[in-house]
């Protein structure tokens, strides 16, 4: 008989192996949790940060766009005001340029009137003047039309009608004629004579 002592090392090895497996399982669980965090949470955090950053940029752009829109509205208002002022200035300039025109028109109507012709009515519409009158002879009407045509204040005289009032020797003729009355030009300033 041998008196050798038998030691069973199997239990110790098994326990060491189980401890090693537990450490491996814990390490594996830690790696899995860390992988889930790295794969799942970090991209979410990154995308959330990117989304927040883009929202800040959008808010910045919207603020500046609103400021630009306000400036554009102000510019439109200023352009409308400018156009209204230019229109007023043009009206005033036209009035200033033509304020003496009526005096010259009547002066020219009288200055071009030949002997034997009398005016009875004058009607003006925009750029046309209609003249009614009496003439001792048709030649007086013709002479008056020629004088009006030579005047700087009248253009294109046209005879509308001429008729005798009666058939006696001293009868006068009623006439109606039209002339164009163009506005004064830069070469013909207000106050300028023919």
Same domain, 33 and 89: yes
Same domain, 69 and 47: yes
What's residue 191's pLDDT? 45
**CA trace torsion 177, 180, 181, 182 (10° rounding):** -170
pLDDT tens-digit map of 127-158: 888 999 988 888 888 898 899 888 888 888 89
Tell me, what CATH number does 159's domain have? Answer: 3.30.1360.100
Reported pTM:
0.48
Helical segments of the chain, H only: 10-36, 42-98, 101-111, 138-150
At 45, the pLDDT band (50, 70, 90 cuts) reads: confident
Same domain, 92 and 113: no
Asked if 162 contacts 174 with a C-beta cutoff of 8 angstroms, the reply is yes
**167 lies in some domain:** yes
What's residue 13's pLDDT? 79
**91 lies in some domain:** yes
At 102, the pLDDT band (50, 70, 90 cuts) reads: confident
Number of domains in the chain: 2
At 29, the pLDDT band (50, 70, 90 cuts) reads: very high
Same domain, 115 and 176: yes
Angle at 56 between CA 53 and CA 60, to 5 degrees: 140
């Amino acid at each position: 008989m041998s008196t050798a002592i038998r030691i069973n090392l199997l239990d110790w090895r098994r326990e060491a192996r189980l401890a090693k497996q537990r450490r491996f399982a814990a390490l594996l669980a830690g790696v899995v949790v860390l992988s889930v965090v790295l794969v799942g949470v970090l991209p979410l955090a990154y995308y959330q940060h990117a989304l927040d950053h883009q929202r800040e940029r959008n808010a910045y752009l919207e603020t500046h766009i609103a400021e630009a829109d306000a400036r554009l509205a102000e510019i439109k208002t200023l352009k409308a005001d400018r156009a209204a002022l230019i229109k007023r200035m043009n009206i005033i300039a036209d009035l200033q340029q033509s304020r003496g025109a009526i005096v010259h028109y009547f002066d020219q109507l009288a200055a071009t009137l030949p002997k034997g012709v009398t005016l009875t009515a004058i009607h003006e519409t925009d750029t046309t003047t209609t003249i009614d009158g009496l003439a001792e002879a048709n030649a007086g009407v013709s002479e008056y039309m020629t004088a009006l045509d030579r005047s700087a204040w009248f253009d294109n005289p046209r005879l509308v009608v001429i008729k005798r009032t009666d058939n006696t020797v001293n009868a006068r003729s009623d006439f109606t004629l039209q002339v164009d009355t163009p506005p004064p030009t830069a070469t013909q300033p207000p106050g300028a004579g023919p």
